[in-house]
Chain A
Amino acid sequence: MYGWIWRHLPGNAWVKALLSLMLAMIVVYVLFQYVFPWAEPLLPFNDVTVDNQ
């Protein structure tokens, strides 16, 4: 999987490394900005109130 991505990135090893880093950063951004905020309320870690639900 990662090997496949590496092989399909253009340029020499340095360019590939830079592109990989950018890809990784985009993934982290999407996770922090969209995926985790969406997933968090679905997980039972942070309910602080008492209620009858």
Chain B
Amino acid sequence: MAATTDTEHQEHAGEDGPPDPGAGRRGRGPRRIVAQTVSVFGELLITAGLVMGLFVVYSLWWTNVVADRAADKQAEKVRDNWAQDRVGGGGPGALDTKAGIGFLHVPAMSEGDILVEKGTSMKVLNDGVAGYYTDPVKATLPTSDKEGNFSLAAHRDGHGAKFHNIDKIDKGDPIVFETKDTWYVYKAYAVLPETSKFNVDVLDGIPEESGKKKAGHYITLTTCTPVYTSRYRYVVWGELVRTEKVDGERTPPEELR
């Protein structure tokens, strides 16, 4: 480090003064070359450190900015569609689920709602939404009224970090899914704080690891854990308690008030 600084001083000294063709800075033999090499190497190290620091800024801040913007835009589109359907009485193309199928409300985890879209690819999740699984185990949508597991994934950090506080969900906490005309009120009943990323059984229609043996209407939230890494997966299971029709004012169910 000292060598680098010294070199820089010399360079600047040579630069600020008038041009001096006689004492060419490159004309001082091998010592000069070594000093220059060390200097460049040091600067490369500093640059690498700066780039890594910028990557952290990018991951933990910038991706959130971008994702929240995208999620807000899509959520607005979904709300607009719903509102239009209500007025227009639902003509052709009334059910536009491409932008999202509904909103997840988990008061224990986060204020506000999380848009839910189809698929769990990075492309979908990076927009700051939760995705329902289509692979390896297909999620059963609550709107289908069939028994099964409504399995979801979202980012823990960056890209909206929608499931960042998943560890704040305790047994008994409500998990509410809002669609155009129904509130599905689930209750968390089991938490798996750490499991392998290969453990796809947690997505099963009857998630036996949560202690259930019979078919029912389940919801599963998955994300990565511990925070800032992806070593394991964190899983929360919930079971449908009741459903509630959405009224004209979209009054939320009592769990959200």
Contact = CB atoms under 8 A, between A and B. Distances in A.
Interface of A: 1-3, 7, 28, 31-32, 36, 39-41, 44-52
A28 B54 contact: yes
Contacts, number: 83
Given A46-B224, A48-B224, A51-B135, A32 B43 contact: no
B108 to A, nearest CB: 19
Interface of B: 8, 11-12, 15, 39-40, 43-44, 51, 54-55, 58-59, 62, 120, 122, 125, 133, 135-136, 153-159, 163, 195, 197-200, 202-203, 222-224, 228-231, 233
A44 B157 CA distance: 12
A50 B203 contact: yes
A51 B155 contact: no
Contact of B198 (A2, A3, A28, A52): A52
Given A1-B43, A40-B59, A48 B15 contact: no
12 contacts: A28-B54, A36-B54, A36-B55, A40-B59, A44-B229, A44-B231, A46-B156, A46-B159, A47-B197, A48-B153, A48-B155, A52-B136
Contact of B229 (A31, A39, A41, A45): A45
